[in-house]
Structures are given as structure tokens and as C-alpha cells.
């Protein structure tokens, strides 16, 4: 017998349907009738017949025709919403879909799997898991370690040994011994009481990353979770059943308790969950719609699910991967600006950087040489000012290897710490099966990823700071020898005047965000947790700074391409012309003023999807192959030739593609 889950005024109702020939209108009326039945005042209605309503799917918010047959319009267990005419949406109502729902209209369940063992997850893997590219399964060795760890917990319970978090309370209540018959209740109470976060929920991608990372840590076999429970958690991940996890509430020690508790709350069938099939709904209904049962927590398992640094680390992983992508594309954007401003390539000479051999600096200088005027890629623009009387360029052009270089090295340093943290056991107490005992420690403290992500924000911000100054040079006619604000008929048209202001605003905002959160600490839990990392905020603001960098560089990319228009018919180098062509495929030149925000967003999307890198990197790698051993990928953020080939990138044989 088909059954539908219907949302009416903030409540979810299960409505069975004995006859598929009934209509959508019947389903709406029946849901309203059940809603009224549960209200002392009938919900303010005299009768069902007077209620006027619309019915729409939760997934995609598509309106349904009340006369359509249910068997035609809906699938079994589908989620729908009854919108009563005249109702005003409560500001506290969780919408049927999160922000970015359009991305999920094309969601397809992945067919490929990633094997998790707790030891070998990479930042790239976790981002791909967040995007829904893979399902998860455990390696046989991981399953064995999880079972051995659980046997230690079972022995503790059987022998009635007093162990923190298993047979005692938590934090200040660590000395309170809990009787065996209440150990399961202890774990459920822990998850419920600690689910006290606030703010917007994590996006599906970020919640998926958080859940995947917690599974990876549990797979190490030091948490004491049962294999049965862990497999239930994996089934929820593979079905993309994602809990409502508010982004605020963690102080980063003892781990990310609040967000991980919200993550666990949905898994036990309480609170809210989201899936591509259901949208937001009560967790028990979302799980049931996917044929899953809520997790029944055994002793220690609530603590195993919520004690760790996975919120900090998963968000930090996204920040690192986006930082890598924008840092290497920043070199390409800056090279294009240098061409437009008629700069010199002399500052990128190999010998200059060989005597100050920082890895990132050497790599950035190499990229500039591979993109700018040379025997490989002659530039008509460069030839036009070859005999000018300028001796050297401004720092924002000349010092790109030194400034961009240290950003690359910073990212590499942070990535190393985050990668270690991805594969670290961060519980308390730790369960050591080889010793048959548990040991209390402090691996839950988030200071490592917190400090690293504060450093990442400071480092990556410099790309926006120097980019904004280059935008100023492009827009300022006394510095660029181009029309003011890169537009014809200045005065009638304002061109890039306010786009530059936007870049300046983003840079200024990021300066405040770069203040380290990890220098702060507030004592919590009645002074038992008397030093904390504040790593959750470090991760969230690092992501915001990375986004600002992307947006500022998107503006510079547009400005540089607009500058090219005023230098025509001269052409730049082949790789930079390819970048120009890419931008012009989504944004047309400015002939006169127009609505600019969509163009900035389009350029931002090119950078997010790494398309600027994709069109330029084959030329960089071809140049590299022809200059070995002069240069090799010295920075961990550089693509190798092998990785390019694995990704089916085409390395051109000549400038003509």
C-alpha cells in the first residue's frame, strides 16, 4: 500500500493510500484532516472543505495538479508539502530544500565506491565524497579492527569496569558512575543534549564530507563502535541521508561536539534530515523512505559518533582544495594583467629565483615564463613596447613570484596538517584492542587544524590583496594608459569603477577575518575543558576568505580581458589568448554599461570549476617538458604531466590547437 509523507504547517504526517486511483487533491485534504484532528482548535478551521491549498513536491518544489492521479503523479514514499492559501511562512520554518537546490535536480546516485581504512583518505577524496561522486565501503582490515575494538568495550561492560564515557557521565560528571541498565539511555541523552548548535545548516556537500570523515575515523578501530552500527551509518551516507547540522556551536575541544551531535541525532531518527529524494523532513521519515532504520545506540557509541575534530577538518579540507585551485589560477590571471599593463618578463628570470630558492617562488616564476612572451609563445603586445623607456614594473607585477610563491608554500604546509588530521583518531577515551584497554587523552583538541586554517586564511588573503592593487592599476588611466575604468565614453559609462570597489570591500572584510580565532580560548564545562581551539570558526572564516579571493580574482580576470579589447588588433601569447577566449565564451566585452554582477559570477564560476587552469596548464606543462631540468613541479600545488594525462588533458604540440 503506497504511503506519502506530507508537510502541513510545520508538521510531518504519514498518509497511507489504499487506492492509487485517488487524486492529489484527496491526499491534500486527507493531510489537512489529520492535521486538524491533532489540534484542539482544529487548526483554526471549521471544516476540511473550507481549506484551500496547493500541493507541491518537496524535491524541486514543483506544483502538482489536484486532479492528477496519485499513481501517476507521485512515487511511493514521496515527500510532498501542502501549502494552505493565506498562510505566511514562519521565519523559523526549515525550507523544503537547502540553498543551491538546483544543483540537486540533476543528482544521480553514484555507482563507484571508495574503500575507507582510516589511514589513506586524501583531501581530494573527501571533496569528491562531498560532491556525491562516490559511495563508501570499509576494507576487510578496517572491519576487523572495528570488531576487535568493540570487544574491548563489551568486556568493560560485562566486568562493570568504571571507564569514562562508557560507564560514567561526561565532562564535569566524569565521576558519576552509571548503572548498566542505563548505559544505552546515557548515550542517547548525550546525543540529544549536545545537539545545541545554532545558525544555518551545513550544505549537503559539507554535511556529506563531515559524515564521510567521521566514518573514516571510526574505521581506524580506536573508537569502540560496533561494526553493525558503523555499517548503518555507511548505509545512510550511501543513501545521501544527511542530518541537519547547524554551522555554529563548536569551540573545537572536546572535539566538535555540537555539530557531530546533530549529525548523530539524525542517524538515530530524531531531528531533521535531508536527502535528494525527500528534501528536509523528520529524520525517521527520511530514513524510512530509503528503507533504513534509525541507529539504536549501544554503550559508548554516542560518544564514538560525536567526539572528534571532523567539523574543523572537513571544512578545512574544502578550504585547502579551493585554495590550491585559486592559487595556481592566480598566476594565470596576474600574467594576463601584466600583458595588458605592458610589463616586462625580466623579473621572472631563472637566475633571480635560483639565488632565493623557495619552492613556491621558483614555481610561480616558472609559470609566468611559460605563459608570457618567449620564443615558444611570442606576444605582439610585448613586442609593441620592447624598446620603451621603463626600467622596472610596480611590485604588484614584479613581485608576483615572491608573493604568490609563499601562498603556495603556505597551502602545502596546511594541506600536510589537514591530511594527517583526516586519518587521525580523535576520540576520548581511545580504545586500544592490542592492549585490551582504554586510555583517556587529548586527541580531540582541535589546535592543529585550527592553527593551520588560521594560517591558511592569512596566506591566501594575500592573493586578493595584491590582485585588488592590480585592478586599481588596470582601472586608473594614469597607471594603465588605458581608458578610465576600462570603458569607452567615460562619464556616460562608469565601467569597472564599482567592480573595483567591490574588490576593495572584499579585501577589507578579509583583513578582519584573518585575525586568528585560535588565539582565543574560553573555559567550558565547569572548567574541565579549560582550554579550547575555536577551530570551527577558524575553518568557516578560512572558507570565507578563500571565496573572497576567488571573487576578487574573478574581477581582475574580467578587467584584464576588457583591457585586451583596447589593445586590439595586437594579440598576446597563445595560452593567454586561450584564457581570453574562455572568458569571452561566457562574458561579452563591455561596449557600454550593463548589469555587471552576473558577469562577475560567471567569471567566478570559471575559477571554481578550474577552467582557467584547464586551458592554460597544457602550455605550462609543455614548456616544462622542454625545459627539464631547468624546471619541474616544485610546489605541491602544481599539476604534474602524469596527472594531466590521467585527467585526459591535451598537451599541445604547437601553438596551434
Q: C-alpha grid cell for residue 173? A: 560528571
CA distances from 639 to 60, 348, 353, 363, 404 (A): 38, 20, 20, 11, 16
CA distances from 324 to 202, 328, 407, 414, 508 (A): 22, 7, 9, 11, 22
Q: What is the spatial distance between Cα 371 and Cα 12, in angstroms, rounded to a whole number?
A: 58
CA distances from 266 to 8, 36, 107, 237, 271 (A): 21, 27, 21, 12, 6
Helix/strand/coil for 84: strand
User: Strands, DSSP E only, in 202-360?
Assistant: 242-243, 246-248, 272-275, 279-282
DSSP state of 94: P
Q: What is the spatial distance between Cα 251 and Cα 396, in angstroms, rounded to a whole number?
A: 38
Q: Is 4 among the residues known to form the active site?
A: no
| Half-sphere exposure at residue 60, Cβ-oriented, CA atoms within 13 angstroms | 10
How does DSSP assign 397-415, residue by residue?
HHTHHHHHHHHHHHHHHHH
CA distances from 348 to 147, 411, 657 (A): 57, 22, 26
96 in Cβ contact with 78 (< 8 Å)? no
127 in Cβ contact with 210 (< 8 Å)? no
Query: CB 119: neighbour CB atoms within 10 A?
Result: 14
Q: Which of 104, 164, 395, 455 is catalytic?
A: 164
Residue 56: beta bridge partners?
63, 81
Residue numbers annotated as active site: 164
Amino acid at each position: 500500500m503506497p504511503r506519502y509523507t506530507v508537510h502541513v504547517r510545520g508538521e510531518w504526517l504519514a498518509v497511507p493510500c489504499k487506492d492509487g486511483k485517488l487524486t492529489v487533491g484527496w491526499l491534500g485534504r486527507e493531510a489537512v484532516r489529520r492535521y486538524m484532528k491533532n489540534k484542539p482548535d482544529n487548526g483554526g478551521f471549521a471544516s476540511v472543505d473550507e481549506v484551500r491549498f496547493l500541493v507541491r513536491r518537496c524535491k524541486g518544489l514543483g506544483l502538482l495538479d489536484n486532479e492528477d492521479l496519485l499513481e501517476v503523479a507521485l512515487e511511493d514514499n514521496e515527500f510532498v508539502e501542502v501549502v494552505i492559501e493565506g498562510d505566511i511562512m514562519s521565519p523559523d520554518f526549515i525550507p523544503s530544500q537547502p540553498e543551491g537546490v538546483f544543483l540537486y535536480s540533476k543528482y544521480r546516485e553514484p555507482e563507484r565506491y571508495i574503500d575507507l581504512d582510516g589511514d589513506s583518505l586524501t583531501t581530494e577524496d573527501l571533496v569528491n565524497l562531498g560532491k556525491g561522486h562516490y559511495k563508501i565501503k570499509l576494507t576487510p582490515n578496517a572491519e576487523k579492527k572495528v570488531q576487535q575494538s568493540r570487544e574491548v568495550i563489551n568486556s568493560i561492560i560485562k566486568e562493570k569496569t568504571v571507564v569514562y564515557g562508557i560507564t560514567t557521565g561526561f565532562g564535569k560528571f566524569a565521576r558519576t558512575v552509571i548503572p548498566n541498565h542505563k548505559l544505552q539511555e546515557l548515550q542517547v541523552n548525550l546525543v540529544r543534549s549536545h545537539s545545541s548548535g545554532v545558525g544555518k545548516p551545513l550544505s549537503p556537500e559539507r554535511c556529506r564530507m563531515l559524515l564521510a570523515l567521521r566514518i573514516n575515523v571510526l574505521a581506524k578501530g580506536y573508537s569502540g563502535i560496533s561494526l553493525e552500527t558503523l555499517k548503518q551509518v555507511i548505509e545512510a551516507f550511501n543513501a545521501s541521508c544527511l542530518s541537519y547540522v547547524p554551522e555554529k556551536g563548536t569551540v573545537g575541544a572536546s572535539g566538535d561536539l555540537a555539530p557531530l551531535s546533530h549529525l548523530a541525532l539524525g542517524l538515530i531518527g530524531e531531528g531533521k534530515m535531508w536527502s535528494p529524494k525527500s528534501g528536509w523532513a523528520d529524520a525517521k521519515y527520511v530514513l524510512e523512505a530509503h528503507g533504513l532504520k534509525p541507529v539504536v545506540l549501544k554503550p559508548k557509541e554516542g560518544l564514538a559518533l560525536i567526539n572528534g575534530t571532523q567539523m574543523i577538518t572537513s571544512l578545512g579540507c574544502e578550504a585547502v582544495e579551493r585554495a590550491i585551485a585559486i592559487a595556481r589560477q592566480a598566476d594565470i590571471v596576474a600574467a594576463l594583467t601584466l600583458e595588458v599593463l605592458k610589463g616586462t618578463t625580466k623579473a621572472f628570470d631563472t637566475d633571480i629565483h635560483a639565488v632565493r630558492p623557495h619552492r613556491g617562488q621558483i614555481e610561480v616564476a616558472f609559470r609566468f615564463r611559460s605563459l608570457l612572451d618567449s620564443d615558444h609563445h611570442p606576444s605582439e603586445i610585448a613586442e609593441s613596447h620592447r624598446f620603451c623607456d621603463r626600467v622596472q614594473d610596480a611590485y604588484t607585477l614584479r613581485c608576483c613570484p615572491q608573493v604568490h610563491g609563499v601562498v603556495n608554500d603556505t597551502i602545502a604546509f596546511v594541506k600536510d596538517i589537514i591530511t594527517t588530521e583526516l586519518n587521525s583518531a580523535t576520540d576520548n577515551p581511545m580504545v586500544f584492542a592490542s592492549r585490551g584497554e582504554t586510555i583517556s587523552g587529548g586527541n580531540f583538541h582541535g589546535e592543529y587544524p585550527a592553527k593551520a586554517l588560521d594560517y591558511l586564511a592569512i596566506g591566501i588573503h594575500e592573493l586578493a590583496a595584491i590582485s585588488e592593487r592590480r585592478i586599481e592599476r588596470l582601472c586608473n588611466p594614469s597607471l594603465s594608459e588605458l581608458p578610465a575604468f576600462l570603458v569607452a565614453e567615460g562619464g556616460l559609462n562608469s565601467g569597472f569603477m564599482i567592480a573595483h570597489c567591490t574588490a576593495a570591500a572584499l579585501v577589507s572584510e578579509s583583513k578582519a577575518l584573518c585575525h586568528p580565532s585560535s588565539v582565543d580560548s574560553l573555559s567550558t564545562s565547569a572548567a574541565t575543558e579549560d582550554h579550547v581551539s575555536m577551530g570551527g570558526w577558524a575553518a568557516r572564516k578560512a572558507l570565507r576568505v578563500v571565496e573572497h579571493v576567488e571573487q576578487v580574482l574573478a574581477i581582475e580576470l574580467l578587467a584584464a580581458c576588457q583591457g585586451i579589447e583596447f589593445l586590439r588588433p595586437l594579440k598576446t601569447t597563445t595560452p593567454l589568448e586561450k584564457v581570453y577566449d574562455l572568458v569571452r565564451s561566457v562574458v561579452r566585452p563591455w561596449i557600454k554599461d550593463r548589469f555587471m554582477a552576473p558577469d562577475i559570477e560567471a567569471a567566478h564560476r570559471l575559477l571554481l570549476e578550474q577552467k582557467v587552469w584547464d586551458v592554460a596548464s597544457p602550455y605550462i606543462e609543455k614548456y616544462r617538458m622542454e625545459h627539464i631540468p631547468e624546471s619541474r613541479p616544485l610546489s605541491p600545488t602544481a599539476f604534474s604531466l602524469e596527472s594531466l594525462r590521467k585527467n585526459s588533458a591535451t598537451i599541445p604540440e604547437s601553438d596551434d590547437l
